[in-house]
Amino acid sequence: MLTYNVRGENIEVTDAIRAYVEKRISKLNKFFDNSVQAIAHVNLKVYPDKTAKVEVTIPLSYLTLRAEETSPDLYASVDLVTDKLERQVRKYKTKINRKSREKGLAPIQVDAADEEAVPEDDLQVVRTKRVSLKPMDSQEAILQMDMLGHNFFIFEDAETSGTSIVYKRRDGRYGLIETDE
C-alpha cells in the first residue's frame, strides 16, 4: 500500500491537487500485494514560465521507481508521470520479480493482458568495452566527454584517486557521480 509525501515548490499543494496526485498514483497499487508498504515522494514544481514539473520517487526494498515529467499543465504532468511509472513496472516486471524472489519478497502483480514485459534477450549485454581510467579533474573529463560526443565519461579523479563519472543532464548542464572506495 502506498502512502504519499506531496511537496510543492513555488506552488501551494491544495487539497484538490493532493487528492488528484494520490488518485492517479494509487493506480500503481494494483501491481503490489498488500504486504508492500512504500512512500511515494511526489515533488511538484512550477517555474516562472508557467511550466509544471512532477517528480515521483517510490523506494521499494528491491528497486526504486522514479519518473519525472514537465508540461504546461500540472495535472497533465501528473498523468504523464503516472503513465511512465506504469510502463516501468510492466516493462521490467520479469526482472523485478526475479530479484524479489531472490530476496524472499512479494512479486509484482501484472495481469497477462497488461503485460509488456521485456524479453530476457533484451536485457543482455550486447557490447563490452574496456577503458583505461586516466587521472584528471571533472572539468577535463567534461571536455573529453564533449569531444567524444558521449553523454557520460568515466575517469579517475586526480584529487581523490577514486573512480568518478561526469554526465550530461537533460537540462544541458553536467552532473558528477563520485564513488566511495
CATH, residue 157 = 3.30.505.50
Q: Which three cell numbers stand for residue 176?
A: 558528477
Residue 39: CB atoms within 10 A of its CB come to 12
Element housing 36 (H / E): none
Interhelix angle 93-102/74-91, nearest 10 degrees: 60
Asked whether residue 128 is domain-assigned, the answer is no
Q: Are residues 9 and 90 in the same domain?
A: yes
Q: Which three cell numbers stand for residue 165?
A: 563519472
- What is the pLDDT, as a whole number, of residue 71? 92
Q: Are residues 10 and 39 in the same domain?
A: yes
Q: What is the pTM of this model?
A: 0.59
Asked whether residue 127 is domain-assigned, the answer is no
CATH number at residue 98: 3.30.160.100
Q: Are residues 118 and 152 in the same domain?
A: no
- What is the pLDDT, as a whole number, of residue 28? 86
State how far the alpha carbon of 34 is from the alpha carbons of 30, 105, 120, 127, in Å.
9, 12, 28, 40
- Residue 113 to residue 101: CA distance in whole angstroms: 23
Q: Which three cell numbers stand for residue 1?
A: 500500500
Asked whether residue 130 is domain-assigned, the answer is no
Q: Are residues 143 and 115 in the same domain?
A: no
Which residue, of 122, 149, 168, is where some domain finishes? 122
- What is the pLDDT, as a whole number, of residue 99? 63
Asked whether residue 20 is domain-assigned, the answer is yes
Q: Are residues 158 and 118 in the same domain?
A: no
**Number of residues that this document lists for the chain:** 181
**Tens-level pLDDT at each residue, the chain (181 residues):** 788 999 999 899 999 999 999 999 988 888 776 667 778 889 999 999 989 999 999 887 667 888 999 999 999 999 999 999 988 887 766 666 666 666 665 555 554 444 445 455 566 787 888 888 889 999 999 998 888 888 999 999 999 889 999 999 988 899 999 988 6
Q: Which domain holds residue 140?
A: 135-178
**Count of structural domains, the chain:** 2
| Of 54, 107, 60, nearest in space to 78 by CA | 54
